[in-house]
Structure 1
């Protein structure tokens, strides 16, 4: 088999989320399948020591990141770089530099960062595609989409415009990994090369199975606590009637204080804070169901599949790529975004009907084995890496590149 030497690159968020967890899981997965993978991570916690002007320039074209990349490439030979997230400290400049150094490049599409100033296609409480097919998202500046500031919004908007103008995404990226069919379709509509975008679902930490009789009568919501996630909508729906169980909310984010206040008089709602990956999987495994009733077009949604790995069904809203993994009344329940009546009924069904919850959970585990098993994800990743290498070999940016893939029998 082909052994790939990969430099995985990721800019972590201040509030840990699904991208951070999935990136780590992906590194471990590919290492377990015999590939030489190094992880280069930066963190947004470093932003506090960076001036606004320097941060803006870094997000558009980071000279420090390209220098560090050159240093790493001089110290070790790689076949390709796989960029998970480069905003704001690394910038898409690392893709340009890697390609010019002769490496194949892979860009993960986990959100709408390359199309939208706030990366969510969501503003003022509604879905928004105003900028999704524009050469640069100037409306994101007008509407203060990023951090409610025109100055702050100008940074990601200008970054999108600059890298479209110089052809970063067309010339310097050899393959894209979209984490859902929906994300793939949105980027194709936005002008990204369809022949280079492959849908490949995210990698996950292995689940664990707990006998149904040992599970709590609890529905678990694991999410960043922000407006587009719809947690306030979930809490209000939960409070419509007395519940035969608890709602557990894991995570943190900008709406945490408001959400706690909304639920403070309801003892059936508990906040768990930010859990470690191990503690989160354990909590999922002991739950009746997991729930993600977001209001935006969730690119994919890790929690339903993490539930499936534990044999736990999911309640999800049908927006974006979130429901791609869920078949209604097969391995979970699907509701319309913002539909209180449907959500209320779905919660009641999985709390009150033991037979339904157990049956959906059993079939959720089958779904995981057939669609999301680590061997499947690893094989698809290897195919995408091979595609990227072939594309770079067909369209070299310089002569005499040293970074060639080696075939190694493992």
Structure 2
């Protein structure tokens, strides 16, 4: 089997980029022939109008996928991110060559201009069931710009009307059951959305520890949707140290407002993050948006590190309350302070929760179950009847996919 992975990297490296790299390694380790086509957001340049048009239909993206298919002859094209440089043209390129398409839904971009279903720090679903996402334009939801928001709304609206999501994608992979329900509400075909969490690197049990785990740890991008402002305020009055690993637009402001018990360590390589997880007694995951998958939550579980997470979104489907983790209400400073204090005062309970978290990780997110899920998905796509490719500008003549 040969898989072509298609992905557009983000300017600030995040969980989605890590997930794609981990998936490539997982498949290759199990003998799957993997080819990649990777674009980079760092190459974005030129005027906003040109970028907006390219986000709707990128001739360059279409041609890049066509050339990759001709050279690699994959059985499946597995798409991750196409925004904004590759565009949905990549689906049509694959369909024009008779190659089935799988799309992992890492965020809510198909339904929401900013991808988070979050506005002014609160959950928002105003655009989910609308073909034209005009509230996103009115509220300047994408990067605080009405013009940029209009471009994203045009992209999703045009391809919704054109039937791209219905006809050019064979199977969508939602990362948790709640996300699947949201995408069904948004108009994606329910019979072609399955729940399939991504692969997560297993660090192994690690060496025996000589000292006690101590303090809490946050790992992630320092941006508004991650809930750092809630966390920093909640930490006032707590004696336990809190280490924050990551970088982003809020770093300077958060560092200036944080109490002395909080340290900002900046971005770190994977091995340093892994080492920090072996030293901490609790991972905190205060996200305000309904994350489709908490990669850092799964990584913490792999390290035997229990998690205090927001009581919405992906973590609810990953942790068992009081067994492998605990929950606090998103954005509720008092609840986060209360829950964190209660957990950090019980080191033995945290140790037991960490053991349970590791057990859950091995059963649900380690290599073997992740690989089996992926093979089930690919088998379903390859065994399904071939559907005709929809018309799109610039399509090459449709041909049958080679066996």
Q: TM-score range by the shorter chain?
A: over 0.9
Residues 286-332 of structure 1: CA distance to partner in whole angstroms, max 9, x if unpaired? Answer: 21111111122222211111111111110001112232101111001
Answer yes or no: is the 8 Å Cα contact 1:207–1:310 preserved in 2.
Answer: yes
Instruction: Quote the residue 2:376 is aligned against.
Output: 383
Secondary structure of 2:313's partner?
coil
Instruction: Quote the residue 1:407 is aligned against.
Output: none
Shift of 1:340: 2.6
RMSD: 1.5
Q: 1:178 aligns with which of 164, 174, 177?
A: 174
Q: Could you tell me the TM-score, scaled by structure 2's length?
A: 0.94
Shift of 1:342: 2.7
Assess, with a 3 A threshold, how the Cα gap between structure 1 residues 399 and 290 changes in structure 2: closer, same or farther: same
Shift of 1:212: 5.6
Instruction: Quote the residue 2:400 is aligned against.
Output: 401
Q: 2:9 aligns with which of 8, 12, 35?
A: 12
Residues 225-258 of structure 1: CA distance to partner in whole angstroms, max 9, x if unpaired? Answer: 111211011010011x141x31011111221111
Secondary structure of 1:185's partner?
helix
Instruction: Quote the residue 1:256 is aligned against.
Output: 251
Q: 1:51 aligns with which of 47, 51, 68?
A: 47
Q: Distance in 1 between matches of 2:337 and 2:152?
A: 38
Answer yes or no: is the 8 Å Cα contact 2:280–2:305 preserved in 1.
Answer: yes
- Following superposition of structure 1 onto structure 2, how do residues 276-315 of structure 1 map, counting pairs within 5 Å? 276-315=269-308
Secondary structure of 1:214's partner?
coil
Shift of 1:278: 2.3
Residues 94-152 of structure 1: CA distance to partner in whole angstroms, max 9, x if unpaired? Answer: 01110111001001101101001111111122111000011121110111000111111
Q: Could you tell me the TM-score, scaled by structure 1's length?
A: 0.93
Secondary structure of 1:40's partner?
strand
Answer yes or no: is the 8 Å Cα contact 2:201–2:367 preserved in 1.
Answer: no
Instruction: Quote the residue 2:59 is aligned against.
Output: 63
Instruction: Quote the residue 1:200 is aligned against.
Output: 196
Answer yes or no: is the 8 Å Cα contact 1:219–1:248 preserved in 2.
Answer: yes
Between 339-348 and 370-379, report the one with greater CA deviation.
Answer: 339-348
Query: Gaps (5+ residues) in structure 2?
Result: 390-396
Q: 1:234 aligns with which of 219, 222, 231?
A: 231
Assess, with a 3 A threshold, how the Cα gap between structure 1 residues 214 and 117 changes in structure 2: closer, same or farther: same
Residue 222 of structure 1 pairs with residue 191 of structure 2: no
Secondary structure of 1:202's partner?
coil
Q: 2:346 aligns with which of 324, 328, 353?
A: 353
Q: Distance in 2 between matches of 1:14 and 1:90?
A: 15
Shift of 1:399: 6.1
Instruction: Quote the residue 2:392 is aligned against.
Output: none
Q: Distance in 1 between matches of 2:211 and 2:19?
A: 28
- Following superposition of structure 1 onto structure 2, how do residues 3-42 of structure 1 map, counting pairs within 5 Å? 4-42=1-39
Assess, with a 3 A threshold, how the Cα gap between structure 1 residues 106 and 174 changes in structure 2: closer, same or farther: same
